[in-house]
């Protein structure tokens, strides 16, 4: 397949020119094409925000739901039909702010979905307020004294919760982004990819150059199975490592743990109504 | 002093602290009563605590069908010192109070000193006997045995039930419980034979009752879910919806459904909508405060036109209110929940049969119109048990509204009636795009204001057909009524029994009772029913007359007379009777004698 196979004819892309979202979209199309995933079998789930609009610009089924809630429908979709490939696309505010509780509990559930979080350290769609990942002293019309809260560290939290796949990429580096997207999508279980992404309009601090200058790749000999090391690397600040921090392939997924899929994989909508069993259950109350 | 009890319909109340095993007594008695061919109704009221407090269960044992709560207590089994005080308002001079000497001591002393409590006391050495049997835990089985004996329940039936209940705990425990039951029977026999307080009960059993279903409101809704093809439930525990969650979770294996305890109600409804989008018939259950968190998800269901069934177990609010009590306060919440304007349906079952049929129907209506469908129930309804002949499973028909998509598929194609054939991802060659933002026919975000208007119209247009599909209210009583009582949801049986009592005494009075089981939108017959009456009274378990207000809004008809109760308890038959008599201008000659039905077939069908 070609990335072009994922083009949405007539899509009215509403992002600013130069926005990091554009390269993420391109990388994602390439990754999906290389993995030969059919759009009909693919479901993009998103919340609200600039990042949340991405599913409208790519070919696939779409559930564009509520702000912060995308992981819940994603979990429900995968549980109702495990044959679908489910990719959740969110922003940092959507995922770590409004959706923080779901972020935590979805990691615990470990559904087989990919969670791409566009982390631009600012709220784009609502025009420039602080996000949970905004760095200290970031000034906004709402944070008039500058941000004085500790930035949320999604990677460290995910590793602490023993998430099954944890990675960080920078949208400007498409080659690495594509590879890591592919690993994340192929990974069985919940896969978090936190994507450093410049918002050219509202974040004048964490610019494309800033990300370039403040990131580097984890060494080739970094062992993603070593959770303690992964956690240590995730807490590094100042200079931020990129790459696959942690992987736990031994975890069973949410769907695998559901008893109904132990014997057959038929999606829920195709299962038959058990009139006889219901009759018997009712009879037991006589 | 001889004690005369109602012979045909006995109201037995067990009262004690949480953790004392009242539920065990209730479970044994309910089964024993039914298996002996008597009709049974039971309801409980309890405090929001795991130990202590005062909780009571009312068990009506009757020769004819009974399905409602009465204030009257014929026999009170006091299992704690606080029991009598807790039920003081319901104790009359005809109440027989049975209890351990230590538990009824203070009330008895009060009586000897000439104070208010004018009842009949019978002391039974429950605790002492339990001690002899091996410890206080046997007190509940002894009590169950004594009461079973009084109710003329054959010992074999009782022993059979004890075996069913305790066999899995091992032979030793089972033998002890059987012995405790025996001791209870002997205690009961002693009471019946003792000169001082002979107890005469003469219930008429019917073998047909033995084979009936004994279920509660939760079971009936649960069966309705399974019958409706429910495949997915995500919810968060909250009284009184937790038992429904337990019901579906415990049947998940056999009926191939997923139950997931979500991290909160917000996740619950969003997860259910995801599963529904992928084709699984989905449900959430909660109570008012939990539902408040789901409201945004209701709007999402409306916007993305994705079906979901929402069960709200009402309890008194605001906020967390009285967690274990009952109310009908969340009609407005369900009716107006969610931002924006879109179609919805609200059901409110009044009888067990309704609960089954309406819950099953809720799934079909949700699928057919791709909307949220609500089931409003309450603590009283969820928890009360009674026997019924059957549930109409044979009539169940689940229509399939899913279509296989083609490459041209448009999720929100504008159609003549607002309903687009529903595709789901992975079924067919098309793409299914749903969006919480305003969207075009393909499901993609749009800010085109013309499309916006058409989409709002599409979502609301469904209402026309939904109204056609509405479930008609049920009219009980005379067709040519002069006075009309209105009720909805769980108040069905208390109102109906009161009406039957009045009609029996005053056959000349033309009285009707209109019960709403679909509370939104109304069936088209509603306005006619209202116009036909000379006088109308409405009964609701809330303080504002939410249903009366909705009737005014929908039909223009203003109901002047309202009987609103919102203390957290259900209406009792007696209070409905008294209030309705007053409404009909029959003076307040007090509560009418509750004479039993001569022929059950004539009264309750
Ligand atoms: C419940 C709710 N609260 C607030 C909003 C308004 N809102 C829309 S997008 C957004 C923030 C988006 O930020 P982020 O997730 O970082 O995405 P970005 O636009 O930066 O990609 C907010 C607060 C909303 N849509 N819903
Ligand atoms: S506001 Fe920022 S995040 Fe949004 S499109 Fe523009 S550059 Fe991108």
- pLDDT one-digit tens code per residue, B433-450: 999 999 999 999 999 999
Rg (CA), chain B: 26
Which ligand is nearest to the Cα of residue A126, counting in written order? 1
A199: exposed, middle or buried (Cβ count in 10 Å: 0-12, 13-18, 19+): buried
The protein residue with its alpha carbon nearest to ligand 1, atom 16, reads A93
The protein residue with its alpha carbon nearest to ligand 1, atom 7, reads A126
**Tens digits of residue pLDDT in B562-574:** 999 999 999 999 9
Distances (CA, A) of A255 to A108, A265, B112, B250: 13, 10, 68, 18
Residue B18 pLDDT greater than 90, yes or no: no
Identify the residue whose tokens are 């499901």. Answer: B443
Q: What is the pTM of this model?
A: 0.95
Q: What is residue A211's three-state secondary structure?
A: helix
Q: Spell out the residues 6+ positions from residue B96 whose beta carbon is closer than 8 angstroms to its own.
A: B3, B5, B74, B75, B76, B119, B120, B122, B199
Cβ of residue B478 closer than 8 Å to a chain A Cβ: no
CB of residue A48 inside a 6 A radius of ligand 1: yes
- In b/e form, how buried is each residue of A106-145, taking b as 16+ CB within 10 angstroms? bbebbbbbbbbbbbbbbbbbeebbbbbbbeeebebeebee
Q: Measured between alpha carbons, how far is B463 from B374 in angstroms, rounded to an integer?
A: 15
| Run of H or E residues at A203 | none
Identify the closest residue of chain A to B213 by CA–CA distance: A286
**Tens digits of residue pLDDT in B66-77:** 999 999 999 999
Which of A7, A32, A77, A279 to mutate to test binding with chain B, by most B CBs within 10 Å of its CB?
Answer: A77
The protein residue with its alpha carbon nearest to ligand 2, atom 8, reads A19
A contacts of B209 (beta carbons < 8 Å): none
Q: Spell out the residues 6+ positions from residue A262 whose beta carbon is closer than 8 angstroms to its own.
A: none
**Shortest Cα–Cα distance, B535 to chain A (Å):** 42
Which ligand is nearest to the Cα of residue A94, counting in written order? 1
| Run of H or E residues at A269 | none
B contacts of A62 (beta carbons < 8 Å): 431-435, 443
Residue A94 Cα to ligand 1 midpoint, Å, equals 6
What are the residues facing A86 on neighbouring strands? A43, A113
B582 confidence band (pLDDT: 50, 70, 90): very high
Under a CB-based contact definition with an 8 Å cutoff, are residues B215 and B388 in contact? yes
Q: What is residue A160's three-state secondary structure?
A: helix
**Tens digits of residue pLDDT in B175-198:** 999 999 999 999 999 888 876 666
B103 or B376, greater pLDDT: B376
Residue % of chain B over a pLDDT of 90:
83
**Shortest Cα–Cα distance, A37 to chain B (Å):** 12
Kindly report the CA angle at A97 between A113 and A241, in degrees rounded to 5? 65
Identify the closest residue of chain B to A64 by CA–CA distance: B435
Q: HSE-up of A66 (CA within 13 Å, CB side)?
A: 25
Task: State the average pLDDT over residues B464-469.
Answer: 98
Residue B335 pLDDT greater than 90, yes or no: yes
Q: Measured between alpha carbons, how far is B47 from B323 in angstroms, rounded to an integer?
A: 8
Other beta carbons within 10 Å of B294: 29
B contacts of A278 (beta carbons < 8 Å): 223, 226-227, 255, 393
Peptide bond into B318 cis (omega under 30): yes
Cβ of residue B545 closer than 8 Å to a chain A Cβ: no
Q: Which of B406, B241, B229 is nearest to B313 (CA)?
A: B241
Q: What is residue B69's three-state secondary structure?
A: coil
- Quote the tokens at residue B547: 């249903």
**Shortest Cα–Cα distance, A80 to chain B (Å):** 5
Under a CB-based contact definition with an 8 Å cutoff, are residues B533 and B482 in contact? yes
Distances (CA, A) of A81 to B366, B379, B436: 20, 34, 22
CA B320 to chain centre: 20
Q: Which ipTM score applies to this complex?
A: 0.98
Torsion of CA B57, B60, B65, B69, to 10 degrees: -50
Whole-number pLDDT of residue B599: 40
Cβ of residue B211 closer than 8 Å to a chain A Cβ: yes
Q: Spell out the residues 6+ positions from residue B433 whose beta carbon is closer than 8 angstroms to its own.
A: A55, A56, A61, A62, A64, B411, B439, B442, B443, B444
Residue A93 Cα to ligand 1 midpoint, Å, equals 6
Q: What is the 3-state secondary structure (H, E, C) of B247-296?
A: HHHHCCCCCCCEEEECCCHHHHHHHHHHHHHCCCCEEEEEEHHHHHHHHH
**Shortest Cα–Cα distance, A269 to chain B (Å):** 5
Which ligand is nearest to the Cα of residue A18, counting in written order? 2
- Quote the tokens at residue A151: 């930035």
Whole-number pLDDT of residue B117: 63
Q: What is residue B554's three-state secondary structure?
A: helix
Which ligand is nearest to the Cα of residue A64, counting in written order? 1
Interface size, chain A vs chain B, as Cβ–Cβ contacts under 8 Å: 195
Q: What is residue A192's three-state secondary structure?
A: strand
Query: A148: left (phi > 0), else alpha (psi -120 to 50), else beta?
Result: alpha
- Quote the tokens at residue B146: 């004594």
Q: Measured between alpha carbons, how far is B442 from B434 in angstroms, rounded to an integer?
A: 8
Most informative mutation of A12, A13, A16, A49 for ligand 2 (most atoms within 8 A of CB): A16
B114 confidence band (pLDDT: 50, 70, 90): low
CB of residue A106 inside a 6 A radius of ligand 1: no
Residue B116 pLDDT greater than 90, yes or no: no
Under a CB-based contact definition with an 8 Å cutoff, are residues B155 and B193 in contact? no
Residue B594 pLDDT greater than 60, yes or no: no
Strands B483-488 and B511-516: parallel
**Tens digits of residue pLDDT in B31-54:** 999 999 999 999 999 999 888 889
CB of residue A129 inside a 6 A radius of ligand 1: no
Query: B338: left (phi > 0), else alpha (psi -120 to 50), else beta?
Result: left
- Quote the tokens at residue B484: 């009309």
B89: exposed, middle or buried (Cβ count in 10 Å: 0-12, 13-18, 19+): exposed
CB of residue A120 inside a 6 A radius of ligand 2: yes
Most informative mutation of A21, A52, A66, A126 for ligand 1 (most atoms within 8 A of CB): A126
B contacts of A65 (beta carbons < 8 Å): 270, 273-274, 300, 304, 436
Contact A40 B276 (CB under 8 A): no
Contact map slice: B 267-296 vs A, CB within 8 A: 267-268, 270-280, 282, 296
Whole-number pLDDT of residue B118: 63
Task: Say which of B255, B266, B275 has its CB closest to residue A77.
Answer: B275
Locate the ligand 1 atom nearest the alpha carbon of residue A66 and give its number: 26
The secondary structure of residue B441, as a DSSP letter, is T
Residue B94 pLDDT greater than 90, yes or no: no
CB of residue A200 inside a 6 A radius of ligand 2: yes
Other beta carbons within 10 Å of A218: 18
Reading chain A (286 residues) residue by residue, the pLDDT tens digits are 999 999 998 899 999 999 999 999 999 999 999 999 999 999 999 999 999 999 999 999 999 999 999 999 999 999 999 999 999 999 999 999 999 999 999 999 999 999 999 999 999 999 999 999 999 999 999 999 999 999 999 999 999 999 999 999 999 999 999 999 999 999 999 999 999 999 999 999 999 999 999 999 999 999 999 999 999 999 999 999 999 999 998 999 999 999 999 999 999 999 999 999 999 999 999 9
Q: Measured between alpha carbons, how far is B587 from B595 in angstroms, rounded to an integer?
A: 20
Under a CB-based contact definition with an 8 Å cutoff, are residues B374 and B359 in contact? no
Q: Mean pLDDT, chain B, as a whole number?
A: 92
Identify the closest residue of chain B to A49 by CA–CA distance: B437
Q: What is the DSSP string of B307-376?
A: -EEEEEEE-S-STT-STTS-----HHHHHH-SSS----EEE---SHHHHHHHHHHHHHHHHHHTSEEEEE
**Shortest Cα–Cα distance, B125 to chain A (Å):** 34
Which of A12, A268, A273, A281 to mutate to test binding with chain B, by most B CBs within 10 Å of its CB?
Answer: A268
- Quote the tokens at residue B272: 């259910």
Q: Which of B478, B499, B497, B554 is nearest to B522 (CA)?
A: B554
**Tens digits of residue pLDDT in A120-170:** 999 999 999 999 999 999 999 999 999 999 999 999 999 999 999 999 999
Under a CB-based contact definition with an 8 Å cutoff, are residues B583 and B502 in contact? no
The secondary structure of residue A95, as a DSSP letter, is I
């Amino acid at each position: 397949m070609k990335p072009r196979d994922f083009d949405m004819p007539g899509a009215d892309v509403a992002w600013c020119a130069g926005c990091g979202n554009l390269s993420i979209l391109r990388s994602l199309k390439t990754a999906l094409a290389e993995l030969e995933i059919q759009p009909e079998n693919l479901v993009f789930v998103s919340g609200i925000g600039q990042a949340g609009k991405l599913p409208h610009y790519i070919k696939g089924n779409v559930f564009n739901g509520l702000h912060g809630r995308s992981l819940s429908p994603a979990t429900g979709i995968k549980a109702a039909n495990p044959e679908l490939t489910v990719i959740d696309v969110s922003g940092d505010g959507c995922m770590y702010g409004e959706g923080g509780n779901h972020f935590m509990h979805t990691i615990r559930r470990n559904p087989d979905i990919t969670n791409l979080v566009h982390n631009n350290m600012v709220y784009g769609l609502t025009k420039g307020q602080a996000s949970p990942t905004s760095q200290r002293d970031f000034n906004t019309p709402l944070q008039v004294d500058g941000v004085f809260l500790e930035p949320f560290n999604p990677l460290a939290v995910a590793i602490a919760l023993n998430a099954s796949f944890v990675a960080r990429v920078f949208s400007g580096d498409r080659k690495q982004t594509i590879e890591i997207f592919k690993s994340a999508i192929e990974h069985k279980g919940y896969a978090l990819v936190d994507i450093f992404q410049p918002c050219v309009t509202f974040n004048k601090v964490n610019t494309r150059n800033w990300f370039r200058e403040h990131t580097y790749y984890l060494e080739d000999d970094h062992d993603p199975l070593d959770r303690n090391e992964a956690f240590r690397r995730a807490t590094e600040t100042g200079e931020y490592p990129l790459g696959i921090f942690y992987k736990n392939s031994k975890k069973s997924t949410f769907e695998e743990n559901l008893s109904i899929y132990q014997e057959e994989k038929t999606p829920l909508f195709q299962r038959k109504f058990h009139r006889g069993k219901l009759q018997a259950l009712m009879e037991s109350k006589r | 002093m001889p004690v005369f009890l109602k012979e045909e319909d006995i109201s037995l109340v067990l009262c004690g602290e949480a953790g004392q095993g009242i539920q065990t007594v209730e479970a044994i008695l309910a089964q024993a009563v039914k298996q002996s061919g008597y009709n049974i109704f039971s309801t409980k009221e309890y405090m929001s605590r795991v130990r202590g407090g005062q909780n009571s269960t009312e068990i009506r044992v009757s020769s004819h069908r009974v399905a409602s709560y009465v204030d009257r207590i014929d026999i009170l089994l006091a299992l704690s010192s606080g029991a009598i005080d807790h039920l003081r308002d319901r104790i009359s001079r005809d109440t027989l109070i049975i209890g351990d000497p230590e538990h009824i001591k203070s009330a008895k002393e009060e009586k000897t000193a000439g104070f208010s409590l004018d009842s009949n006391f019978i002391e039974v050495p429950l605790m002492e006997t339990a001690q002899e049997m091996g410890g206080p835990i046997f007190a509940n089985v002894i009590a169950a045995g004594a009461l079973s004996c009084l109710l003329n329940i054959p010992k074999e039936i009782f022993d059979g039930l004890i075996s069913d209940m305790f066999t899995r705990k091992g032979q030793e425990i089972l033998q002890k419980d059987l012995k405790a039951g025996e001791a209870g029977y002997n205690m009961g026999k002693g009471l019946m034979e003792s000169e001082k307080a002979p107890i005469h009960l003469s219930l008429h059993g019917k073998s047909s009752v033995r084979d009936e279903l004994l279920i509660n409101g939760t079971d009936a809704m649960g069966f309705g879910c399974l019958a409706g093809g429910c495949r997915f439930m995500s919810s968060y525990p909250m009284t009184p919806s937790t038992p429904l969650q337990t019901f579906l979770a415990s049947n998940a294996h056999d009926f191939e459904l997923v139950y997931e305890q979500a991290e909160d109600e917000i996740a619950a409804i969003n997860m259910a909508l995801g599963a529904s989008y992928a084709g699984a018939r989905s449900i959430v259950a909660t109570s008012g405060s939990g539902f408040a968190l789901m409201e945004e998800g209701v709007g999402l269901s409306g916007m993305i036109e994705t079906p979901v069934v929402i069960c709200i177990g009402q309890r008194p609010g605001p906020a967390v209110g009285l967690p274990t009590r009952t109310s009908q306060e969340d009609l407005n919440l369900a009716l107006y929940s969610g931002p924006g304007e879109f179609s919805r349906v609200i059901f409110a079952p009044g009888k067990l049969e309704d609960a089954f049929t309406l819950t099953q129907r809720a799934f079909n209506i949700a699928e057919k119109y791709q909307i949220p469908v609500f089931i409003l129930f309450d603590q009283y309804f969820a928890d009360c048990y009674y026997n019924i002949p059957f549930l109409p499973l044979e009539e169940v028909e689940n229509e399939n509204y899913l279509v296989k998509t083609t490459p041209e598929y448009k999720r929100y194609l504008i159609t003549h009636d607002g309903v687009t054939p529903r595709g789901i991802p992975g079924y067919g060659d098309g793409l299914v795009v749903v969006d919480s933002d305003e969207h075009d026919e393909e499901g993609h975000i749009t800010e085109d204001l013309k499309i916006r208007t058409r989409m709002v119209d599409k979502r609301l247009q469904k209402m026309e057909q939904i109204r056609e599909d509405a479930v008609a209210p049920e009219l009980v009583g005379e067709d040519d009524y002069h006075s009309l009582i209105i009720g909805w949801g769980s108040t069905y049986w208390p109102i109906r029994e009161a009406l039957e009592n009045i009609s029996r005494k005053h056959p000349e009075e033309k009285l009707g009772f209109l019960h709403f089981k679909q509370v939104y939108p109304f069936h088209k017959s509603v306005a006619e029913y209202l116009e036909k009456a000379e006088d109308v009274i409405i009964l609701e378990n809330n303080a504002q007359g939410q249903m009366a207000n909705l009737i005014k809004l929908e039909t223009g008809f203003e109901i002047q007379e309202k009987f609103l109760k919102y203390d957290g308890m259900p209406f009792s038959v007696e209070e409905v009777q008294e209030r309705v008599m007053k409404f009909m201008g029959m003076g307040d000659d007090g509560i009418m004698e509750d004479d039993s039905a001569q022929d059950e077939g004539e009264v309750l069908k």
